[in-house]
Structures are given as C-alpha cells and as structure tokens.
Structure 1
C-alpha cells in the first residue's frame, strides 16, 4: 500500500499505518465518527487544545514562536534537577531509555510521511472552526450524581424510527424517559439518539450503553451470565496526580481502590484483552505490575505508547524532559487466554510494543482502541471510568456523557 492509499485509509478508517515501523497515526474524530449517522464530531471542538488558550489554564504557545528566555531558564533548571535522580527515578529513566529508540523511530516515520504532514493541519481544523467551547453551562455529573436528588433525575431520550415505518414514510420521533444515575441506559441499534437533561442536549451513538454511578456501584456491571462477559476491557483510571489536583480537572481515586475493580468477573470466559492507561510515575508502575494486574488475573502485559504530536507533526514537548514526557503508556494483557496455545486460538495475540501517534484532544481524552480482541465476534467491549460513549460499547463511570454534549457535534 503506497502513501496515497494510506491517506485514503486514514480518511475512511481514521488509521494511517506508517511503513517500516511498529507505529500508526490515528485520527480519533474519524474513529469515533463511525458511531454516528446523523451527527458528526466537530474536529476543532475535539482538538480544542490546538487552538488559542488552553482550557486547563495557561497559554498555548503559538507554533513557530521561540520560547522566552525565562522559559529556557526554567527548562535548564528542570533538566539539571533530572540529572540528580534518586533510586526510583533512575529506574524510571532506565524505562524511558529502553523505550526511546522505538519512540524516535516511530516519530521519524511520521516526519517522513509527507502526504500525512500536509494533511494534518486541515484535519485538525476541519470544515467548521469552533475554537472556543461554551463549557460554563455544562452539567457537572460528578456533583449531580453525589446529590441526594440523584435517584430522581431522569433523561428524556429522543430517537427516530427508520424511514418508511409510519404511513407517511417519514421518520417518527419517539421519546422515553430513563433514570440517569445508577441504572443501565441503552440506545437502539438502528440509529443514534438525543438525550435531553437540564436544558442540555447529548448525542448518544447507536448501540451504545452506559451506566453512570460512583465507584461504590461498580459491581452492578458484573453480568449474570459469564458468557455475556466482555472481550475488550479498557480502563483509564483517575490516578492520584498532583497536576490534576492543582488544575481540578477531575476527581482522583486512591490507587489501592482499584484492587476492588471486578475486572476478572467482567471478562468473557473465551478470553478478554485488558487495556490499562497508566502514567509515567515509577511507583505507580510498580504497584500496577506487582499488585494490580495480578489481582485482576491479567497475564503477560505488553507495553504500548501513545506519542502526542502537534498538527505540524512535531512532538508536544521534549522527549527527554523527565517530568513531562510527551507520551503515555498503555499496558495490554489477557485474561482467560493461554498464549502458549496461540496456534489453536481464534484470534491473534499481541506481538511486541507498538506506538500510537495522534494530536491530543481535551485533557484525559484518549484515542479509541479496538484491536487484537479475543473471543467471539462481534466483540463485547466495555470502558471503565469512561467520559464518552461508543457504538457497541458499554461505558461506566461518574461522567460517561461528558464528551457527548451537543457542543462537540454538528448535524450532517
């Protein structure tokens, strides 16, 4: 497949596979857009961090401008401190040095993809420029879910019957009310729906399912029949993080609470792939590898990397800056899968680390993943601590509708 074919593949699927490397560039807007028929995600809304001031505070540096002398001084100071590493930090630095050749190779393959680099700026901006989102009036589901009124809140779900099912041959809009918190809410397979709640509209993709609860209700997700378990379990925990606390981006959760997530009970007996997003903190990595993954029954984890780039293909930061790496890690491992029996299995298991590159969206928003899924087809997929929905996915967390607000969409 040549470069133009790959570019057409990106437009069709949201994935551009970079030749000669274990890397791919992804466009989350196109990947997520497959879930919608009547709506489209607005690229400039998804990629809002690429436009103007950051919504998390601080000014976004304009492309092509040189850093200020004060910024250079602060950077040199941080680099000086990074040379004075303690024992734990030295282990973290060793991990970085081990990953560094793969990350550099992946990024170089992106810089060599001239067609893709020419395409990126327009992909980020899209046809409709919406650089500033009105977020002040968005519903705060975390606060609402913790209120004594939570059991009484309802969402009005509006959906359309397919064309031709009524006598006039037009779409028949139907409405139903559903408890919003601590209940499973499902959307029909024949098309996306719109949810109305407290004066805001939410776009709900076809075949999606969500449950909005706090951590105390997570075991309500466990299926009554194990054969209806999940083949792909994506987990993006709100890890304890000083930076997140300072910005008040979202509530965090004590790391040890995650030991009680019923991951093994959610897994399909025919096999499940678990994808866990983690930070670059070495103490957290040790806890995950030594305690968390074994408690979930996850075996043989493989490390993937999400390398964040700007719309010109450059990294969002210095690759070697100790405390602000321009990448995040994913650990992928299997439950109920015998990798030694791969030859007789019905699915392909992971082989080696890979790099996913994309332009980041809003804080904590990750590119979607749905690859190397074991077990029966179509796969059953669930995301824990979700902040958006996907077609065919179950999404659980205390704000799975956060990025479903109509402000992020336009009608086709």
Structure 2
C-alpha cells in the first residue's frame, strides 16, 4: 500500500482532509487469520506505516484524522514517530464510544489489556498551521454511534470535520473500505462495504 501511494503521488494533489484507518498489527486479526483467512486483512508494521508520504499530501490548512487501536505502543509510535515524520502536530485526541441499539456501551470499560468498547481518534494539523486553526475541534470530547457488524468499519467523519474545511474540499481516505462523496479512496478493499448484500432494499 505504501509503495502504491508513492507511485500515485504525481497524480495526487494536496488534500484538505485525510482520513487514515491503518491496518495496525494486532492479536485479534492474527487469531482470525488462523481460523478464517478470508475475514482477516494484511497488517502493516509501524515502520511501513510511518513511510506513508503524508507530508507530501498536505498543506498548511489540512486536517489529518488517524484511527488508532488502544495499544499504548501504537499510540506512542503515532505521537512520537508518525506525526513528526509526516510534518504534523497533534490537535486533539478523542474516543469513539460504541453503543448498542439501546444507547448503552456495548461492553464495560475493562482493565488495560482487555478489549474496550471504544477506539481512539487522533486529529492532527500541519506543523506550520496558524495557531488558531481548527482549535474548536477540541470542544468535541467523544463520538457516539452504533457500530457496524463488520469489523473495523468506522463512522464517517466528513459531516463533522467538513465544517473546518474550505468550500468544495479535496479529501482523501487511505485504507478505505467504502466510497464517499468528495473523497479520493485508496486501499485494497475500497468496495468492500459497498456490497449490496449489506443493505436492505426499499
């Protein structure tokens, strides 16, 4: 995937919003791969992810949203290695809390090392961004939604983050699993969640 994006660089522009849902290495997917290969996906090492050419795809008023697991190792790598390499500074960190159809967390918040009912979202901006750019994002402390039954299907962010972008923004999603208006989508499974079998016909 990293090499694919590097090859596409001459055809790409600088984007106003980039959403990244990295295929972090994790134990759940390794176990899943042993049982049902078709349900798993290819994971990348932190070194491979760090080599994404994000710094070449942003401008001074870009926002970059990065989904991260609850692994302290991945979060530390993101903050201390990825963001500096990508010429980004951290703007905000918040949780996506997964709810059941009754509006309650899908499970209790457990001790470290156990699966949690939330995932982390890191919002970053260019290192040379104006000091006040998009700072009101910090007023949002948590996202709530009922998760998809499909593993790693994240809620769309454009309706929220689009408020901080210019008119007719150019957006990019890396490791995309479905198509969205105004987005260039890059990934190995960009049509995965577009399958008509996932939707009821009216």
Name the TM-score class by shorter chain.
0.7 to 0.9
CA shift for structure 1 position 260: 1.1
Q: How does 1:100-119 map to 2 (within 5 A)?
A: none
Q: Using the alignment, how far apart are the partners of 2:18 and 2:117 within structure 1?
A: 25
| CA contact 1:259–1:292 (8 Å) conserved in 2 | yes
Q: Using the alignment, how far apart are the partners of 1:294 and 1:305 within structure 2?
A: 22
SS in 1 for 2:19: strand
CA shift for structure 1 position 372: 3.4
The answer to whether structure 1 residue 369 and structure 2 residue 157 are counterparts is yes
In the other structure, the counterpart of 1:139 is none
| CA contact 1:349–1:372 (8 Å) conserved in 2 | no
CA shift for structure 1 position 286: 1.1
In the other structure, the counterpart of 1:325 is 116
| CA contact 1:310–1:316 (8 Å) conserved in 2 | yes
| CA contact 1:272–1:337 (8 Å) conserved in 2 | no
Of 101, 105, 110, which aligns to 1:315?
105
CA RMSD of aligned residues (A): 2.1
| CA contact 2:68–2:75 (8 Å) conserved in 1 | yes
In the other structure, the counterpart of 2:129 is 338
| CA contact 1:339–1:349 (8 Å) conserved in 2 | no
Of 184, 192, 195, which aligns to 1:405?
195
Give the TM-score of the pair, scaled to structure 2: 0.86
Q: Using the alignment, how far apart are the partners of 1:327 and 1:382 within structure 2?
A: 24
CA shift for structure 1 position 247: 1.0
The C-alpha deviation readout for 1:329-384, integer Å capped at 9, x for no partner, is 000010265242x3xx6x66523452111111010000000133445311111110
In the other structure, the counterpart of 1:230 is 15
CA shift for structure 1 position 270: 4.7
Q: Using the alignment, how far apart are the partners of 2:142 and 2:4 within structure 1?
A: 34
CA shift for structure 1 position 325: 1.3
Number of residue pairs matched by the alignment? 192
Of 299, 314, 320, which aligns to 2:89?
299
Q: Using the alignment, how far apart are the partners of 1:276 and 1:258 within structure 2?
A: 12
Question: Alpha carbons of 1:243 and 1:392: their partners in 2 closer, same or farther (altered >3 Å)?
Answer: same
Larger radius of gyration: 1
| CA contact 1:278–1:285 (8 Å) conserved in 2 | yes
Detail structure 1 runs of 4+ shifted over 4 Å in the superposition.
none
| CA contact 1:235–1:275 (8 Å) conserved in 2 | yes
Question: Alpha carbons of 1:349 and 1:337: their partners in 2 closer, same or farther (altered >3 Å)?
Answer: farther
Give the TM-score of the pair, scaled to structure 1: 0.44
Q: List gaps (5 residues or longer) in structure 2.
A: 34-39
CA shift for structure 1 position 320: 3.0
| CA contact 2:90–2:124 (8 Å) conserved in 1 | yes
In the other structure, the counterpart of 2:36 is none
| CA contact 1:384–1:396 (8 Å) conserved in 2 | yes
| CA contact 1:302–1:352 (8 Å) conserved in 2 | no
CA shift for structure 1 position 312: 1.1
Q: Using the alignment, how far apart are the partners of 1:223 and 1:272 within structure 2?
A: 19
In the other structure, the counterpart of 1:259 is 50
| CA contact 1:383–1:396 (8 Å) conserved in 2 | yes
